[in-house]
Structure 1
C-alpha cells in the first residue's frame, strides 16, 4: 500500500515537473534564430581564439614590446562589447553582435564611450533600435552588391545634451541620389523629430543623426 502511494506521488511529482518544462518552439523562424545564434557563438569563439593565439605567439617569440598594444586592443574590444550589451534593445544588441557573421565584406566598427540605455531614454526604444538597424541594412545592401570588394562601416553612439547622436561612416562608393531617395525618407518615417546631416563624397559617406531624448 505504501509502495503504491509512493509510486503515485512520484508520478504526480514527475507530471508537475514536466508541466513546468516549456515547450520548444517549432517553425522556420525559430530555426533561423537558433542557427543565427550558433553562427554568432562560432564567430566569437573563432575571433577570441585568434586573439589568444596571437598573444601566445608574442610570448613564445619573446616579442614583449607588442603585448601592451595587443592588450589595449583587447581591453577596448571587451569594453565596447559590454557597452553594446547594455543598450537595452535586445533586437539591436543581437543585430550588432551578429552583424559580422552575416556581412563578410563589410567590417563594422562600433564606438561607444559611455553606457547608453535606450529603454530608459526613449518611450519607443524599439523604434529607435529599428531605425539604427534600418540604416545599417541600407548601407549593407550596397556592399552586398559588390562581394569582391571590402568595405567598412563605423557607428559611433553617444548621448549628449538632450539627444542621442548616431554617426555612421560608410567607406565605399555610394550614389548621392540613392542616399537622398532611401535614407532621408527612412529617417522621416522613423521619427519626425529626427535631425540629420548627410555628406556624400567619392568614397566616403557620413550620416549624422540626432534624436531628442524621451520622445
Structure 2
C-alpha cells in the first residue's frame, strides 16, 4: 500500500523506490492473526519461508518457535499433514508453525499483526514465549490490541481514530495517564473478569459432577 501522505523509508530509501518482490523476499517477515498454512506436511509448511533450507535448519527454527516438542510428539512428526488451512492443529500450534517459518526466513524487519489476539490464555503464553525469541536482533513492528504483547517495546505509538495521540515506552505512557493508561486499565479489568468467569465455570462443572 502507498502512504496517503508523507514517505515510508527503509535505511533512507523510499519504500516506493524498492522492488516489492525484493522487499518481501529479502527483508520483510509477516505473522498475522490467522496464519496461512497449506495442506501439506509441517516440514514443508515451515520450509515455505525458505524453500532451499535443509531439514536441520527447519528443526532449528521449530525449536526457537517452541514448536519442536509438540511436532515430534505427533505420530508422523514433521511429516504430519496439517490439513487444509492447518485444521488438524490448534490455534496456538498453527501460530508457532508460522513463527518457525518466519524464523527460517530470518527477515531483517518483522511485522506482527495481532499475532496472539485469536488465542486463549494458555496458547497466548506459549506463542508469546516464541515471539520473545523472534524479535531479538531485528526491527519489529507490532500491531496489537492485546497490550501485554507490547509492554517491552522500545517505542509504543497510540492511535485514536487514525491519528497518533501518544508515543513513548510503557512506563512513560502509564505515567501520562492518558489514552494508553485507560486502555491498559480496561484490559486489566477484562482479564480479571475472564479469570473469575473461568473459576466459576470450573466450580459449576464440579458441582454438576
Range of TM-score over shorter length? under 0.3
More helix by share: 1
More strand by share: 1
Max Rg structure = 1
Report the TM-score when normalising by structure 1. 0.23
Report the TM-score when normalising by structure 2. 0.23
**With CA pairs under 8 Å and 6+ residues apart, which has the higher RCO, 1 or 2?**
2
